[in-house]
Structure 1
Amino acid sequence: MQSSTLPGFTHTYVKVNGVKISVHTAGKGKPLLLLHGYPQTHATWGKVAPEFAKNFKCVIPDLRGYGRSDTPPTDQEHYTYSKREMAKDMVALMESFGHESFNVIGHDRGARVSYRMALDHPKSIERIAIIEVVPTIDMWERFNAEMALKAYHWTFLAQPAPLPENMISADPVAYLEWTLKSWTKGGNLDVFSPVSLESYSEQFRDPEHIHALCEDYRAGATIVQRQ
């Protein structure tokens, strides 16, 4: 079906690696996988996706636990939401479209999935672009008071369930908007399109997705550092 968030793109669901992934596709040329960050969805690429689609076959999914993709049950080690599992999702997703090798651009959490994918599946990646991250283990090891204030969500979301889930669920959209505002130069939501904001808000209205997003950060604080 035609996408309501990315005009000109087709929206579908693909079952891979045991999870149903929501994905948007458009364009012609070499395959390009675009991976979003937190607390976004595929809609984060809305302003640039049409330009990429002029020269690439674009595949723009919601990572597991995000957007309209599945929120699989977690485990005690948080492996379900590790970047290694997310990387497996993405390789299988691209293979489902007939792309044995492809280019990838990853931002934030999607960037971490991207470099995990390049490490675990080097034959699948032709070129990789990483936006706005340092390796997860370096991030945790360099935490100080200043970083803790700026990136507080790393420690907040990684707290044991259901503490962050309950606190976010008290007013999920307000939490989302405050978080987004705090990361913009102007301290407001002017840079975000209404369509993107609604896509982000939709996942925050769902308790299962709130839990999944927390699990992403719990995995980052634990198993991801050992992989």
Structure 2
Amino acid sequence: MDHEPPHGDQAGDELFPGFDEWDVPVAPGVALHGRSGGSGPAVLLLHGHPRTHTTWHGVAPALAAAGYTVVCPDLRGYGRSSKPEPDPEHEVYCDRTMAVDAVVLMEALGHETFAVVGHDRGCYVAYRTALDAPDRVTALAVCDGVPILEALERADARFAERWWHWFFFGASPHAERVIAADPLAWYRPDESRMGTGNYRDLVAALEDPRTVRAMLEDYRAGLGVDRANDAADREAGRRIPAPTLVVWSLRDDMPLLYGDPAKVWGTWCERPVGTAVINSGHHMAEEAPEQLAAALAAFLDAQGRGRSSRTTSQR
């Protein structure tokens, strides 16, 4: 599959030195924007809400230096990726659709198999890719999340108090109007914590009303079709065959809400899961990039570089 040549800007080049920038078609009328660099086994990094691929600017170069080919896209609807029209069933922005995007993207970049790392909403796309394309995913790392079905089944008053935005985003008819009226006031991105280039990339995305709409569609899919797909998989006894690392932030609320996150994931995985706790708040890739990159590299190295990726020539 053809894709547009690199067209990096100065801020992006500073964030991802030596990486190529691209827009790759993954479906009719849909292209993913992102960057890739390095050499060796392929690793796909999937960001969370409301971030863009530049959230990985401290992690991706470190993994590339550790001997990996690192691919960082904006999920469909986010960042500078395409923002297709939603559908009534919310399947256009569901995790299964985004998982197909991930596989097509990696094929287009020449990677038949790859490891996948997902944070926050990207975590859901990552484990859906591992479930739906087990022959492609060689290793999985899930950061600050549990399967959507597990989260919703634990949605007690404490969960609703802390994560009320799930239901505002996913169910309120007023969410798009309220957020799009002043997205920077809503999200309050902090340039000093994010870094200037990362901050600017996020702000540019948030100022596009279509991005807000697409991100809300992601949450609407989560409450509906994504939850249903999880339930069907659990009923059918489908489990993730790939080696799995469960990562959570020390200063987030994962243990408070779920107890031991590894035990939750253990019921979804064929193998015992590994764990890593990052000394950060929720946005671990920005707050503790060195620690996260080291944890991911150690996990990926343990899987064996020779088994981690089959790479073909780019098409």
Cα deviation, residue 147, structure 1: 1.4
Whole-Å separation in 2 of the counterparts to 1:23 and 1:189: 21
Q: Which residue of 2 aligns with 1:20?
A: 31
Cα deviation, residue 191, structure 1: 2.7
Q: Which residue of 1 aligns with 2:238?
A: none
**Is residue 37 from structure 1 mapped to residue 48 from structure 2 by the alignment?**
yes
Q: Which residue of 1 aligns with 2:8?
A: 2
- Judge conservation of contact 1:22–1:61 (CA < 8 Å) in 2: yes
Q: Which residue of 1 aligns with 2:255?
A: none
Q: Which residue of 2 aligns with 1:117?
A: 129
Question: What fraction of aligned residue pairs are identical, expressed as a percent?
Answer: 40
Superposed, which structure 2 residues align to 1:172-191 within 5 Å? Answer: 172-177=183-188, 190-191=192-193
Whole-Å separation in 2 of the counterparts to 1:65 and 1:123: 26
| Range with greater deviation from structure 2 (131-140 or 195-204) | 195-204
Cα deviation, residue 70, structure 1: 0.5
Whole-Å separation in 2 of the counterparts to 1:144 and 1:226: 19
- Judge conservation of contact 1:31–1:103 (CA < 8 Å) in 2: yes
Q: Which residue of 1 aligns with 2:177?
A: 166
Whole-Å separation in 2 of the counterparts to 1:164 and 1:176: 13
Superposed, which structure 2 residues align to 1:59-208 within 5 Å? Answer: 59-161=71-173, 163-177=174-188, 190-208=192-210
RMSD of equivalent CA atoms: 1.4
SS at match of 2:135: helix
Relative to structure 1, the CA distance from residue 2 to residue 190 in structure 2 (aligned partners, 3 Å threshold; closer, same or farther) is closer
Whole-Å separation in 2 of the counterparts to 1:211 and 1:26: 30
- Judge conservation of contact 2:16–2:60 (CA < 8 Å) in 1: no
Provide structure 2 residue ranges, at least 5 long, that are not aligned to the other structure: 1-6, 230-315
SS at match of 1:73: coil
Whole-Å separation in 1 of the counterparts to 2:32 and 2:191: 28
Which consecutive segments of 4 or more residues in structure 1 shift more than 6 A?
Answer: none
> Larger Cα Rg: Structure 1 or Structure 2?
2
Q: Which residue of 1 aligns with 2:225?
A: 223
- Judge conservation of contact 1:66–1:212 (CA < 8 Å) in 2: yes
- Judge conservation of contact 1:36–1:62 (CA < 8 Å) in 2: yes
